[in-house]
Amino acid sequence: MVTFLIALLALIGGYFIYGKIVDNLFGPTDKPTPALVHNDGVDYIPLPTWRVFMIQLLNIAGLGPIFGALGGALWGPSVYLWIVLGTIFAGGVHDYLSGMISLREDGKSISEVVGHHMGSTMLFIMRVFSVVLLVLVGTVFMTGPAGLLAKLTGVAVTVVLPCVLLYYFLATLLPIDALIARFYPLFGACLIIMALGIMGGMLFGVGGHTMPELQLANLHPKGDAMPIWPLMFITVACGAVSGFHSTQSPIMARCLRDERLGRPVFYGAMVSEGIIALIWAAAGVTFYDGTGGLAKAMAAGGAGSVVYDICVGFMGGSGSMTGYIGATLAMLGVIACPITSGDTAFRSARLTLADWFGVEQTKALKRLLFAVPLLAIGGILSQMDFNIIWRYFSWTNQTLAMIVLWTGATYLYRVHKGSKAWMIPAVPATFMSAVTFTYILQAPEGFQLATSITYPCGIIFAVCCVALFAKKILMSKQD
């Protein structure tokens, strides 16, 4: 319990201390925001700050901080360190910079932002990479909640899935204040109840479970066959740092009224997601009394079944009315997370394609031009094995985060020449370069190479990235 509470306080403190440092180094101004300059009644709409925060949180808090955190918990409480440090020094920086740079550049999609600062080749790569990632995200966040809803209601997945797909279509197509801004506060209430309920059940020992303390050891049931580096860092995904978030931040950059609201919305939402991930990672190792029990439960019924069992167990116990109500509310919170990321994933994919091909989106027919094929592809992919899609999503997700962090470092160097502000994103960018390259060389869905090869190759790749960044800085000095 002590370890968990320290980690929780560290996340909260990170927002107020490191988040403030990052904000001061970026330097918000009084310049009119895109929401005020380009108000089009569809995507550029000024919204109240609390709504913008809630939408941003629900946009980014998909299955990642729940399923990813449970997967990361298989390595034991050591996952707390990555969730806390990753959220504060990587995820929060990534989300803040992707949102604020987009805000400065008329709310452009992240692919356009990266291309502006990293060159035409990277622009093309990012456009393709972003659309692929967003469709994968939409698919993952379509099948996951459909399965959970089916388990909760007893209705077949084949019936629930088309209903989720229909909602995604409407959320992708309609103005942002028609569905998303109206219903997200309700979903947010479920999410908050879920987090507080699960945390309360753990802290007060519901069911006789004891929260384990931190051990600096690999407690994965498969032992050395599943090394912490780099597998755990990719598995946790959105709960520590997520490239997907950079595709969502521009959506809210088009709705902010003031640049000074960037820290509570972008950095604050990431810290909130880190707290959600911390709660679920702790719940996994606590409810099943260790990583062995968690691994068996994951193998037997999948992450969705584990979520259901934890909700019932920590929200009042199975068989009781309070337990059923609490579990239902908690499950609704868990379902709301992926649904409110899946809808904006497809919406962001539409905006990315619109920016790519220069098609304005004020007319419904032009929005249909992109929405229909995107949702059709997502519907086809939803028939694939969820676990396969998730693994490829996780690596693609973290690779995008690495690219965006390097973009943030380039932007800060250009804007604040003479200062060391660029180091804020450059350090986590270097780390994530090593993580992502090592993973794809080593993972079962990658090249399956031995650690004797993947570890040094990962370090060499990170060094090469640093060298390319240094070359870009030197070229910038000569301009």
Domains assigned to the chain: 1-385 (1.20.1740)
Q: Give 322's pLDDT tier (boundaries 50, 70, 90).
A: low
Q: What phi and psi, each to the nearest 5 degrees, are found at residue 319?
A: 95, -20
Q: What phi and psi, each to the nearest 5 degrees, are found at residue 38?
A: -120, 30
* Residue 227 DSSP code: -
Q: Measuring CA to CA, how many Å separate 263 from each of 101, 344, 400, 433?
A: 13, 21, 21, 25
Q: Which residue, chain included where needed, has tokens 């820290």?
A: 263
Q: Measuring CA to CA, how many Å separate 230 from each of 109, 241, 434, 439?
A: 29, 14, 9, 6
pLDDT at site 168:
87
| Closest CA relative to residue 130, chosen from 267, 277, 244, 31 | 244
Distance in Å from the first CA to the final CA of the chain: 55
| Closest CA relative to residue 245, chosen from 401, 113, 115 | 401
Q: What phi and psi, each to the nearest 5 degrees, are found at residue 34?
A: -55, -30
How far apart are alpha carbons 327 and 194 in whole angstroms?
8
Segment 14-58, tens digit of pLDDT:
999 999 999 999 999 999 999 999 999 888 999 999 989 988 988
Q: Which residue, chain included where needed, has tokens 């790519």?
A: 356
Beta strands, E only, 5-117:
none
Kindly report the length of the chain.
479
pLDDT at site 462:
97
Mean pLDDT of the chain: 87
Q: Which residue, chain included where needed, has tokens 């167990």?
A: 313
> Looking at the predicted structure, is the pLDDT value of residue 98 above 80?
yes
How far apart are alpha carbons 106 and 89 in whole angstroms?
26
Residue 81 or residue 197, greater confidence: 81
The mean pLDDT value for 358-375 works out to 89
Taking a C-beta distance cutoff of 8 angstroms, is the pair 113, 105 a contact?
yes
Asked whether the bond before 230 is cis by omega within 30 degrees of 0, the reply is yes
Type of residue found at 325: I
- φ/ψ bin of 107: left (φ > 0), alpha (ψ from -120 to 50), beta (otherwise): left
> Looking at the predicted structure, is the pLDDT value of residue 300 above 80?
yes
Taking a C-beta distance cutoff of 8 angstroms, is the pair 204, 198 a contact?
no
Residue 117 or residue 430, greater confidence: 430
Taking a C-beta distance cutoff of 8 angstroms, is the pair 141, 342 a contact?
yes
| Closest CA relative to residue 75, chosen from 242, 279, 240, 292 | 292
Segment 140-153, tens digit of pLDDT:
777 777 877 787 77
Lowest mean pLDDT segment, chosen from 123-132, 402-411, 455-464: 123-132
pTM, entire model: 0.89
